């Protein structure tokens, strides 16, 4: 991943209802770099699609957000949470990703580079990742 022209993390954000075990998983075409889609749900149009297979779909209904696990499936499981709760989850994801990105350069220096070699492609990639992954509203 460190040698890619464009640093990305496949998979997107997952939301799990711990009481029911229902998990809202992003589809194959969605990743953390698509964080603006979450902003559309809470502050924009009120809806967003998160890839396909499954066809994950989120919509805002007043003060509630409904996360449909697979919109192409009738009777698909859903997770409902308040807009405030979703904002807290997004803030937490932002902190986690920011903390991860803050620790990554030291880990790379210790594990992937010899003492005389500097990580040539990681620095710019990390800066790109910081801009892409930070979940600002």
- Please give the average per-residue pLDDT across 42-63, as a whole number: 93
Q: What is the pLDDT of residue 34?
A: 81
Percent of the chain predicted with pLDDT > 70: 74
Q: What is the pLDDT of residue 131?
A: 44
Please state whether the predicted TM-score (pTM) of the whole model is above 0.85: no
Instruction: Give the tens place of pLDDT for each residue, 30-48.
Output: 877 787 889 899 998 999 9
Q: Label residues 79-97 b or e (16+ Cβ within 10 Å = b).
A: bebebeebbebbeebbeeb
């Amino acid at each position: 991943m460190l040698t890619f022209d464009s640093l990305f993390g496949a998979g997107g954000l997952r939301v799990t209802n711990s009481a029911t075990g229902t998990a809202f998983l992003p589809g194959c075409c969605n990743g953390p770099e698509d964080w603006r889609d979450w902003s559309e749900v809470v502050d924009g149009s009120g809806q967003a699609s998160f890839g396909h297979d499954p066809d994950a779909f989120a919509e805002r209904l007043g003060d509630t957000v409904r996360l449909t696990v697979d919109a192409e499936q009738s009777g698909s499981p859903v997770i409902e949470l308040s807009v405030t709760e979703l904002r807290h989850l997004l803030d937490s994801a932002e902190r986690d990703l920011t903390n991860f990105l803050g620790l990554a350069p030291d880990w790379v220096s210790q594990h992937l580079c010899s003492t005389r070699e500097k990580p040539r492609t990681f620095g710019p990639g990390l800066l790109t990742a910081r801009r892409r992954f930070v979940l600002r509203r």
